[in-house]
Amino acid sequence: MNPAPSIVFFTTASGAGYGLLFWLGLLRPLGLVPGQGLVALALALVLITAGLLSSTLHLGNPQRAWRAVSQWRSSWLSREGVAAILTYIPALLLGLALWVDAPTLALAAGLLAAAGAIATVYCTGMIYASLKPIRQWHHPLVVPGYLALSAFSGAVLLAMLAAFAGGGAVPALLATLTGAAALLLKRAYWQAIDAAPPIATIESATTLGFIGKVRQLDPPHTEQNYLLREMGFRIARKHAAKLRLIAQGAGFALPVLLALLAVLIGGTPAALALTLGAVLAIGGLLIERWLMFAEATHTVMLYYRG
C-alpha cells in the first residue's frame, strides 16, 4: 500500500495527541500531573487537529470531507470522524475547568475526554483492521497496536511537559511501561504477519485453480493507474528489516530507557532526557507507521503480478 505522507503524519500525530489527551484527562484531575495542564491540553489539541486536517489531503475532494461523518452506521471512517468531533467538547470543557480551577468539572470532563480519545483511536484502528483484502491489516493485533502506540506516545509527551513543570515521575513511569508493552506488541505483530500464509493466490483470485497453475500473459494495464499507485507500492525485505530495527531502537527502546533514567535522576537532566525521548519516539513511530503501509499487500495486486 502507498505510504502517503499525509496519512503517515495523521496516524502518528493524532495518535500522540489522543494519547496525551487520554493521560491528561485521567491524571490531571487527580493531581498526578504538575502545573495547570493547559499547555499539555493545547499540545494535544494541536496534534489532533493537525493530524485530522492532514488526513483530508489524501481525499480526492478534500472540500467534501465533512460528508465522511454521514455514514457512521456502516463506516469506521465515519465513526472515527464523529468520535473525533464529539471528543472536542469534553476536551474544551477540561481546558475551561483547568483555567477556572473547577476540580469537579475537570474530573468529569477529563474522564469523558479520555473515553473519547480511546473511542477515536479504536475507530482509526478498525478502519484498517476491517479491510479483509489486506492480510497485514486484517489482524487481531492491529487495533491493540494502535491503542498501545497512542498511549505510549501520549505518555512520553506528557512526561516531557510534566518534567519541565517540576514533576513528571508518574508520567515518566507510564511512558516506561507503555513503551515496553507497545514494543512487545509490535514485535508480536511483525512475527505474526511474517509467518502468516497469503490469504489468496492468483488461482483462488481468478477461480481458475481447478484448471491448474495460473500465470499472467499480459498486464491489465500498460500505464500507471490508481490501483498501481495506491496499492502497488513495494519495499525490499532487507530494507524493511533495517527500518524495523530503527523503529524499535529509536521509537521504543531508547525512549523507554530515557524515561526510566528520568525517573531515577529527576530535575533538569530528567527534563532533557524526556525531551530527547519524545523526539526519538515520534521519529521512530513515523517510521513504524510508514512501514505499516509499505508492508501491507492488497489482494488486487495478484492480477498485476500473477
What is the predicted pLDDT for the residue at 279? 95
What is the predicted pLDDT for the residue at 305? 61
What is the predicted pLDDT for the residue at 6? 85
- Please state, in angstroms and rounded to a whole number, the distance separating the CA atoms of residues 106 and 93: 8
β partners of residue 298: 134
Per-residue pLDDT of the chain (306 residues; tens, 9 = 90+): 567 788 889 999 999 999 999 999 998 878 777 776 899 999 999 999 999 888 777 666 666 666 667 777 788 888 898 999 999 999 999 999 999 989 899 999 999 999 999 999 999 999 989 888 888 888 899 999 999 999 999 999 999 999 888 777 889 999 999 999 999 999 999 999 888 777 666 666 666 777 877 777 666 666 666 555 655 566 656 788 889 999 999 999 999 999 999 988 888 898 999 999 999 999 999 999 988 888 877 766 666 665
Question: What is the dotted CATH code of the domain comprising 5-305?
Answer: 1.20.1630.10
Q: What is the pTM (predicted TM-score) of this model?
A: 0.88
- Please state, in angstroms and rounded to a whole number, the distance separating the CA atoms of residues 288 and 124: 16
Q: Give residue for cell 477529563.
A: 110
- Please state, in angstroms and rounded to a whole number, the distance separating the CA atoms of residues 271 and 100: 27
Kindly report the number of other CB atoms within 10 A of residue 74's CB atom.
8
The residues spanned by each domain of the chain are 5-305
What is the predicted pLDDT for the residue at 63? 63
- Please state, in angstroms and rounded to a whole number, the distance separating the CA atoms of residues 52 and 20: 16
